[in-house]
Amino acid sequence: MARMHIMAGAGDKLDMPVIHQITIADLGDVLRRGAADFWAKPSHYVLLMLIYPIIGIVLTVWMNGWHAWTLLYPLIGGFALIGPIAALPLYEVSRRRELGEEPGWADAFSVLRSPAIGSILAVGAMLFVLFTLWMASAQALYETLFGFSPPRTLMGLVNQVVNDPGGITLLAIGTGLGALFALVVLCTTVIAFPLLVDRDVGAYVAVETSFRAVLYNRVPLFLWGVIVGAAVFLASLPVFIGLAVVLPILGHATWHLYRKLVEPASLIRGT
């Protein structure tokens, strides 16, 4: 029974949300709303502002010590894959602000006590599998082109990519491969986590609803994927510091994107 609840939700039958069509102009609106949510309580993000520089420093030291600079580009791209998980507290903050509340840290992390936490963990596990496959694929591509002896420094990697004939191939195939993984994540989770924070519909319905949302809104949501990917990539470049601002804004904006895409349950039930 617990397994069925995780996959199909708490009801007796599948709760299949109604999808709305949106326009490209709606993307600008959700980004503005996301920024408004972020600046309403910027003190809530002090911890995030500390976490990402620390992550960047730790990764830099690790890659330097283990000569693992070949994983730098995949790691930066990987943040876009697992970002929806990190944004879970942000969805809850936006949800509560929508209700007229003034949420704090404790309220943000109350999402961990959600009735849908099993479904959230199931979809999160899927993302971590995709992240692992992406990292393994990127490493395998590098080793196919350059062998098993990675450069010992970051500049060594840059010189190898710029000057070696295989560098262009690495960038072209690696970028295409990363885009494929990002497309899978977009189609399966673009609104899956906000939906589960809002309604205990189960992992299957959350993923299926995200897929339908992309199917019915191909151009706006593909553009949304490009915006998210580019913003996360650029914010990651200065030792991941920019993610302290970009990730919260995108997280809040994703909640508002969900609201534009999915018919509220109360309207469906006529209450």
> What gap in Å lies between CA 178 and CA 131, rounded to an integer?
10
Give me the tens of pLDDT residue by residue for the chain, a chain 271 residues long: 445 456 655 655 667 899 999 999 999 999 999 999 988 876 556 555 566 666 666 666 655 555 567 777 787 777 777 778 878 888 988 999 898 888 877 777 788 888 889 999 999 999 999 988 988 898 899 889 888 887 777 788 788 888 888 888 988 998 899 899 999 999 999 999 999 999 999 999 999 999 999 999 999 999 999 999 899 888 877 667 777 788 889 999 999 999 999 998 765 544 4
pTM for the full model? 0.84
> What gap in Å lies between CA 51 and CA 209, rounded to an integer?
32
| Percent helix, percent strand, percent coil in the chain, to nearest 5 | 80, 0, 20
The confidence score (pLDDT) of residue 270 equals 46
Domain ranges (residues) in the chain: 22-260
The confidence score (pLDDT) of residue 89 equals 85
The confidence score (pLDDT) of residue 173 equals 92
**The two three-digit tokens of residue 53, written as one number:** 């520089």
The confidence score (pLDDT) of residue 116 equals 87
Strand partners, 19: 262
The confidence score (pLDDT) of residue 80 equals 75
The confidence score (pLDDT) of residue 238 equals 67
Strand partners, 262: 19
Neighbours of 170 (CB within 10 A): 20
> What gap in Å lies between CA 53 and CA 244, rounded to an integer?
8
The confidence score (pLDDT) of residue 271 equals 44
Contacts of 23 (CB under 8 A, 6+ apart): 220
**The two three-digit tokens of residue 9, written as one number:** 């939700």
> What gap in Å lies between CA 133 and CA 110, rounded to an integer?
31
**DSSP 8-state assignment for residue 190:** T
**DSSP 8-state assignment for residue 19:** B
The confidence score (pLDDT) of residue 158 equals 82
The confidence score (pLDDT) of residue 1 equals 43
Contacts of 60 (CB under 8 A, 6+ apart): 239
The residue type found at 110 is S
